Amino acid sequence: MAYPMEFRIAVAASYDEHGSSIEVAELFHCSEAWVRRLIQRREATGSLRPLTPRRPDTRKLDDDDLVRLRGLNAERPDMTLGELAEALGHKASVPTVWRATRALGLPLKKRRRTPASRTGPTSKRRGTTGSPGSRR
């Protein structure tokens, strides 16, 4: 966790007064290396603010793929996720394609079409069971 700005300002002011990162680190009970990096950052950027973390771009589908995905969905809205992944050249997995279609707000076909049951519904109808006299 980053130190608060008030603490950073106090450490930098103390460094400007003492000129030694060892003394400042002992005075504020922090790392000598942290004091040196703080002063280096101030000299390089003019700010004592902590750096924002940079996360690498690990997306499998770039902007062109998302445009293509939108076009595929408009052209054939009944494509399954597997078929969409295949149409994109297996550049991404099915769950990745699902997340992309969800982010784009595209409707999805959940599964391949299955034939209707020949026997009809197999579960019992919901309702009361037993004879009317057995209820109280």
Supply the pTM of this predicted model.
Answer: 0.45
| Separation of alpha carbons 78 and 110, rounded Å | 9
| Separation of alpha carbons 87 and 79, rounded Å | 10
Q: The tokens 């394609």 sit on which residue?
A: 97
List per-residue pLDDT tens for the chain, 136 residues long: 688 999 999 999 999 998 899 999 999 999 999 999 999 999 999 999 988 888 888 888 999 999 999 999 889 888 889 999 999 999 999 999 999 999 999 887 655 566 666 776 666 666 666 666 655 5
